Homo-oligomer: A and B are copies of this chain.
Amino acid sequence: MSYTAGVVGASGFTGGELLRLLAGHPEFEVVQATSRSKTNRTVGYVHPNLRDLELRYSSPEELVAVDVLFSATPHGVAMEEIDRYRDAAETVVDLSADFRLSTADQYEEWYDGHTRPELLDEAVYALPELGRDRLRGASLVATGGCNATVTILGLLPLFEAGLLTGSEQVVADLKVGSSEGGTGGGEAASHAERSGVVRPYAPTGHRHEAEIRELLGLELSFSAHAVDMVRGAAATCHVFPDSPVTRSTLWEAYRSCYADEPFVETVGGGNIYRYPEPKALAGTNRAAVGFEVDPDNGRLVLLSAIDNVMKGSAGQAVHAANVALGIEETAGLGFSGLHPVGAP
């Protein structure tokens, strides 16, 4: 193992997923996992899949020096703690929204402002399919948001191919799982209330809009719905290009965009899995993308799916760390997912 790693906020869902990934990663050794509420507990006490791991939570107040520090805390924590993080580690990967946007103004508009805006320039947004160059050697990485990631991956090939320019209206309709709400929850997150819902929890005003707008430079109409699954995010983007686009042009766009991407698969064909579905991706760092052309009105329906805990968070963070440190990109991220699988 070449690198030591620490995880701050390791009792949450994405923190636990980081521990799972790092424990199985050939190049990382986890030397610290912090949790304010679970200090001294084993990680297996909180994450039953990690009972084999000989590791106990320590307090976030005392950070051990590591090569890479992952922070999986709620929004607002990392910007307060960033100096301590950087004292502890040369490479910091933050999974919150604290360093994703590029200006303090955006944080005023979409969040509650920012206390360390001078770092926003330095921070590198990590959605590796958008570009890896800035990630290599980066010391402050901000991993892309789950709903932003799945939406961007569905749209990116059209922007890269010039089929969309940003002036068109893009409607993104998302369906997401309950793990996006994190542990705890409250009444609306209880099983009795949350089971079986199609709940439009953010018809407008979802914060991830900000990332998508900034990164793709587009007009966006974004609505998010909670549906009955725990892991998973699926985006259906309805777009209306200025001139007609054929299926073969789309295939070409997706292929050329993702041909060399280890974690994106373009799906099609005639069977029941002809479109992207999140459940086939549960536990993996892969995204699936696909599309359909509406013969009636030239609309393109762009479909994309991920596991929000993985490609939308912890997996993306490990992927980004791999790139930042020059490790093989797919290291530690090889799980292929399950079939059959219910509502993971």
Tell me which of A118-126, A128-136, A156-164, A218-226 binds B: A218-226
Q: Which residues of B contact A97 (CB under 8 A)?
A: none
Q: Does A179 contact B (CB under 8 A)?
A: yes
Check B282 against A204 for contact (C-beta < 8 Å): no
Tell which of B178, B223, B281, B297 touches A192, judged by Cβ atoms closer than 8 Å. Answer: B178
Check B228 against A228 for contact (C-beta < 8 Å): yes
Contact size range, A:
35 or more
* Nearest-neighbor residue (CB-CB) of A221 within chain B: B299
Check B305 against A338 for contact (C-beta < 8 Å): no
Q: Does A190 contact B (CB under 8 A)?
A: yes
Q: Which residues of B contact A205 (CB under 8 A)?
A: 294-295
Tell which of B173, B181, B272 touches A238, judged by Cβ atoms closer than 8 Å. Answer: B173
* Nearest-neighbor residue (CB-CB) of A279 within chain B: B196
Q: Does A301 contact B (CB under 8 A)?
A: yes
Tell which of B24, B46, B223, B231 touches A341, judged by Cβ atoms closer than 8 Å. Answer: B231
Check B342 against A196 for contact (C-beta < 8 Å): yes
Copies of this chain per assembly? 4
Q: Which residues of B contact A271 (CB under 8 A)?
A: 45-46
- A205 CA / B295 CA spacing, docked (Å): 8
- A209 CA / B293 CA spacing, docked (Å): 15
Check B221 against A294 for contact (C-beta < 8 Å): yes
Check B299 against A341 for contact (C-beta < 8 Å): no
Known: A13-B339, A219-B297, A343-B342. A277 touches B191 (CB 8 A): no
* Nearest-neighbor residue (CB-CB) of A303 within chain B: B200
Check B50 against A336 for contact (C-beta < 8 Å): yes
Q: Which residues of B contact A83 (CB under 8 A)?
A: none
Q: Does A275 contact B (CB under 8 A)?
A: yes
Q: Which residues of B contact A108 (CB under 8 A)?
A: none
A200 CB, min distance to chain B CBs, angstroms: 5
A13-32 contacts to B (CB < 8 Å): 13, 16-17, 20, 23-24
Tell which of B294, B305, B309, B342 touches A344, judged by Cβ atoms closer than 8 Å. Answer: B342
Q: Does A230 contact B (CB under 8 A)?
A: yes
A195-216 interface bits toward B, Cβ cutoff 8 Å, 1 = contact, 0 = none: 1111110011100010000000
Check A191 against B185 for contact (C-beta < 8 Å): yes
* Nearest-neighbor residue (CB-CB) of A340 within chain B: B192
Q: Does A287 contact B (CB under 8 A)?
A: no
Tell which of B50, B198, B309 touches A234, judged by Cβ atoms closer than 8 Å. Answer: B198
Q: Which residues of B contact A179 (CB under 8 A)?
A: 192, 340
- A20 CA / B341 CA spacing, docked (Å): 13
Q: Does A49 contact B (CB under 8 A)?
A: yes
A216 CB, min distance to chain B CBs, angstroms: 15
Tell which of B171, B203, B269, B294 touches A275, judged by Cβ atoms closer than 8 Å. Answer: B203
A259-317 contacts to B (CB < 8 Å): 265, 267, 269, 271-273, 275-284, 292-297, 299, 301, 303, 305, 309
**Shortest 9 CB-CB contacts between residues of A and residues of B:** A196-B343, A230-B342, A191-B194, A49-B337, A203-B292, A192-B340, A228-B228, A195-B342, A173-B173
Additional A-B contact list (9), CB under 8 Å, known A49-B336, A188-B272, A200-B275: A48-B277, A191-B193, A191-B230, A195-B228, A196-B279, A200-B276, A221-B297, A223-B236, A283-B338
